[in-house]
Amino acid sequence: MKLAGQVALVTGAGRGLGRAYALHLAKLGANVVINDIRMDVADEFNEPLMAPTVMDEVRLLDRQSLGIVADVTDKAQVEAMIDQILAEFGRLDILVNNAGGHLAPGERSWASSMPPEDLKKIMDINLTGTIYCCQAASRPMKERRYGRIVNVGSLAGLRATSGQGSHYSIAKAAIHHYTRSLAAELGQF
């Protein structure tokens, strides 16, 4: 229960890894805010839940949970999400930036020919969303002089490969560098 009383936000937590991060944080004692662009996304991927929603799964672990539908690529929605968390819980201790993914067909993700709209979409959902969430969450964390930010990267961002997935690799590489820059800036807080 080393996180007892703390409040965590996990983006992209309606299913998959985000859900796993949220449940793990709850098992460690944190109250968990679940963010996703849709709360029924587990149904789309036929991912079974132990309760009707991920928020209900967290509540089964005797933790408080709040679900917030917000698009992390929209700065106003991200700011409103952080404001809602602060209004509901009075604090934000942990941010896990999980929202993202490789959401374009392989044939449209070659470095030499990826369409601009696919590049923008993948950069927005992976990198821009991470930046917006870090900026919004760092405000209350700096004020309290406490907070933890975890940005989910990928091995794809650490090595170059030829072929499909270039935009995803570029976005994850940028997240790795952004995270190092953010740590250098916020470490004093």
Q: What pLDDT, in 10s, does the model give residues 149-186?
A: 999 876 655 677 666 677 778 888 899 999 999 999 99
pTM for this one?
A: 0.90
Tell me, yes or no, if 168 is annotated catalytic. yes
Q: How far apart are the first and last CA of the chain?
A: 24
Q: Which residue of the set 21, 132, 168, 178 is catalytic?
A: 168
Q: What pLDDT, in 10s, does the model give residues 129-140?
A: 999 999 999 999
Q: Are 174 and 127 contacting, i.e. CB atoms less than 8 angstroms apart?
A: yes
Secondary structure, 3-state, 96-110: EECCCCCCCCHHHCC
- Helical segments of 9-165, H only: 16-27, 41-44, 54-60, 75-89, 116-123, 129-144
Task: Catalogue the long-range contacts made by 72-76 (C-beta closer than 8 Å, 24 or more residues apart).
Answer: 72/11, 72/12, 72/35, 72/37, 72/97, 72/99, 72/125, 72/128, 72/129, 72/130, 72/132, 72/133, 73/124, 73/125, 73/128, 73/129, 73/132, 74/132, 75/132, 75/136
Top pLDDT among 100 and 65 is at 65
What is the rounded distance in angstroms from the CA atom of residue 136 to the CA atom of residue 66?
A: 18
Cα atoms in the 13 Å half-sphere on the side-chain side of 34? 30
How confident is residue 122, by pLDDT bands cut at 50, 70 and 90? confident
